[in-house]
Structure formats: C-alpha cells, structure tokens
Amino acid sequence: MAECRPRSGSPRPGDDLFSAPRPKDSSVPSWSKLNPRRLHLPPRLRTPLRSTDGSEKIPSAQVADLRFLQNASRRAGRLREEGRCYYSLGVLYDNAGRWRDAIKCYTQFLRICERCRDAQGEALAYHCLGVDYHFLGKAESDRGSTDSAEEFLMKALGFYQKHLDLVGSVEGRYLTNVNMSRVYAALGDEEECLGRQKLAKGYAQQLQPSRSSAGPADAVLINMDPSEWARSPSEKLMK
C-alpha cells in the first residue's frame, strides 16, 4: 500500500507527559492520558477514514460489503484487493474500539503483504498491530491487570520495532518513536522512554530543519505534531 502519514487525533500541547507516574519511579512519564498515535492513509486509496476516539458504531452494511469483496477477491486471486479489504475492516473495528477484532484483520493484511512482497504494506501492518496491542495494554492497565497489560505492551514494542525496520519515512520514524516512548513510560523504563523521546525530537528536527535550533522543551515537543511545533518554536509552552 502507498503513502501514510500522521494526521488527526494527536495529543495537544497542553497534555502533561510527566504527570502521575508509578510511585516507584517518579521520573518516568505518565502514559495514562497519552494514547498511541496512528498513521492515516490518503483518501485516494479507498480505505475508511479513521476516527480519533474509538467510539463509533460498527457500520454493519459496510462490514458486510467488505467481507463479500474480500471473499470474492480471494477466489479471483486478487491478493492486493483482498489485502485492502482486510485493512479497511481493521480500520472500522479500530473506529469502534474493537482492538482484538482489528488485530485479526491486520494479521491477515500482513500475511497478504508478505505474499505480495509489499514492504510498505508490511510496515503499515506492523504499525497497526503495534498500536492495537498498545491500546489493549492500556485497557488492561486501567483495569488493574498488570501482568496482561505488560504482555500486550511488550507485543506492541515488538511490532513497533518491526515497523521501524521497514519504514523509510522520517515522519513514520518520528511517530513510532513517540509511541514507543509511551510504551516504555507505561512499563516504568525511564531510560528507554527518554531515549525514544530524544530520537523523536531528532526526527522532528529533520522535518523542520530551518527551525530546529529553537525548539521547545522535549516533553512538549513529544506531545506536538512537527508542523505544530514549527508554527511556534519560540513560545514558552512550559512554565
């Protein structure tokens, strides 16, 4: 599949990256308010638009149409179209907050991309799987299920790393390092968390080289889109 980019649903500059961490390590950023960020595909690729809060209802008719097209594409040997259907189904399940169902779809999408030797599609699939396991880990942590939360978060890290191994864009590397910093924050790993923040800042500076010398504090930058940072690099956003 073709280009992907960060879009809506990004944290606002006011989000506090360093609030209320685990008591055992007060310097590790809190992740409770910081959801993972996603890549979005352009409309020309004919995939559903993503929502930002996972609260939409499942569009039953659209799901049924995609299932029908997926089966027809499989029988006709149209692998790429079948893969597009699986990816689209994953987006619809994501929009409804049904992460486990979305994971099943993205796993099928990944298998098809591997068969087609579509490295860009594989990278997108790894990203989607990482984000959904990240969300599952967050949900388990909110319920107090520490062991299962850690299991899901470790899976998220694995998929994020596979995405980094394949992705070529600076934007993709920026976003994935932001997501990984939030996973490490959730795991209480201060060193890795801050290391990923530093990497993300470096990629953001590559995206806006003309203004990189006047960037705000690291914690604020990690909560901003690179474009937003570029619009106000000299503002004192942290009091």
**pLDDT tens across the length of the chain (239 residues):** 544 444 434 433 333 333 333 334 444 545 445 889 998 888 888 899 998 778 899 999 999 999 999 999 999 999 999 999 999 999 999 999 999 999 999 999 999 999 999 999 999 999 999 999 999 999 998 888 889 999 999 999 999 999 999 998 899 999 999 999 999 999 999 999 999 999 999 999 998 754 444 343 333 344 444 443 333 333 322 22
**pTM of this prediction?**
0.77
d(CA 200, CA 209): 14
- Which domains, from first to last, does the chain contain? 58-168 (1.25.40.10), 170-176+188-233 (no CATH)
Long-range Cβ pairs for the range 198-203 (8 Å, 24+): 199/173, 200/174, 203/170, 203/171, 203/173, 203/174, 203/177
